[in-house]
Amino acid sequence: MERKSFLKAVAFVSLTPAVLLAACKEAGKKTMADEKKQTYTCPMHPQIVQDKPGACPICGMDLVPFDKNNKEASLTLGESQIALANITTTVIGAGALSNFRQLNGRLVTDPEKSAVISSRVPGRIEALYVKETGVKVSKGQPLYKIYSEQLASLQQEYLLAVAQVKQFPDDARFRQIEKAARQKLALYDQSDADINQLIQAQKVHPYVTYPATVSGVVSALTAAEGQYVPEGGAVMQLDGYSQLWVEADLYPAEAAAIRVGQSVKVIIAGWENEPQQMTVQFINPALQSGSQLMQVRGSIPNPDNRWQPGLQANILLPVTSKGDVLSLPVDAVIRDGKGAHVWIGKARGKFEPRMVKTGMENFDVVEITDGLHAGDTVVVTGAYLLYSEYILKKGADPMAGMPGM
């Protein structure tokens, strides 16, 4: 009996290494199979990982394959890929950086470019050639025709003076009367051609057509056809848009940060990529009625009349500045829930992410307080495309494995 138990024990001990070796081989094969197994992820949500193609349960995008075993935190792109993605770099260096305070403003008509068209003679408007506001008119264009009894009387007076001069050519007093009557007609916008035509026709013509004295846009109509207007009475107003005022509101406590003659930047709504430089021309010392705001004003040119009064236009008022700081364009810094990072350019089209800390920021650039050094080559355009490409190829956030700063 004891002999049989001994033989069984010997047989078990001899078989155990073979069984363990076989199990290890099977585990190794399974591990290798898992490593070779293709995995898929969502380009927008790298936390979604599956072992087969499909759609992202969050956004519905098709899952893309990626190599989960590639742990290298960098990307290598060819020259054509770099050109296609418009990836450009710059060597970062220390310089000055200013911050801005935004003042809400608007474009308004420059009164120096406005003109009131008024009647030079009293009378009735016989024809109004421009009957609505917003119409563009050119200098010399007829605007309205007026009938004036007073003009007819002056024309008749002049014809009588001319007849007296003809009858008594040697009489100096008649010549003076004729000259004075002619001068009166000239004051009523009667040209030499009009006066000569009056002499030839020997008949009064009590209608005067007034042309536009300047080019502009009709902003107001104060008279209508058939209406009587006195001498000097306004008929319409023309506004020129070749130059516009920029008016912005500011609190009295902010007035100390701005002065007349100071150069500031103006951002016009819809043209954010074309900031305009403006010189402050006037600061209203009194508060606006019904508010606790003051006004600052300047003017900017308006090429081709592309901007209209009423457009929002904000003034960027510099309030603080720093010298010898590292700064980058705002678009070069990628921000997410884990912080901020930039992409560093290496040799031969290799790029790698680097965690950074940011400081003061304005509309154009951001200060880098930690993570970079002067002389580093940093991607300034195409950084977000590198970020997306990293997620697409590796299925993970480039900052996932980096310690927080």
Query: CA-to-CA distance for 266 and 269, rounded, in angstroms?
Result: 10
Highest average pLDDT, of 20-29, 165-174, 320-329, comes from 165-174
Count CA atoms closer than 13 A to 340's CA, side-chain side: 16
Query: CA-to-CA distance for 395 and 70, rounded, in angstroms?
Result: 10
Q: Which CATH class is domain 70-98+321-394?
A: mainly beta
Which helix (H) or strand (E) element contains residue 378?
A: strand 377-381
Q: Which of 97, 112, 95, 100 lies closest to 266 in space, CA to CA?
A: 100
Task: Tell me, yes or no, if the pTM score tops 0.85.
Answer: no
Does the domain formed by 118-237 have CATH 2.40.50.100?
Answer: yes
Domain boundaries, the chain: 1-35, 38-66, 70-98+321-394, 105-110+241-311, 118-237
Q: Which of 176-180, 279-283, 316-320 has the lowest mean pLDDT?
A: 316-320
Same topology, domains 70-98+321-394 and 118-237? Answer is no
Bridge partners, residue 264, by sequence:
278
What's the confidence (pLDDT) of residue 7? 47
What does the block give as tokens for 210? 């007034």
Residues across the chain: 405
Q: Which CATH class is domain 105-110+241-311?
A: mainly beta
Q: Tell me the per-residue pLDDT of 25-77, one tens digit each, with 9 for 90 and over.
A: 555 444 444 445 677 777 667 667 788 888 888 888 777 776 555 566 777 77
Q: Which of 277, 287, 300 lies closest to 250 in space, CA to CA?
A: 287
Percent pLDDT > 70 in the chain is 83
Q: Tell me the per-residue pLDDT of 297-338, one tens digit each, with 9 for 90 and over.
A: 999 999 888 999 999 998 887 777 677 788 888 889 998 877
Name the residue with higher pLDDT: 404 or 165: 165
Q: Tell me the per-residue pLDDT of 116-162, one tens digit each, with 9 for 90 and over.
A: 988 888 889 999 999 999 899 999 899 999 898 888 888 888 889 98
Query: What does the pLDDT average to over 181-202?
Result: 84
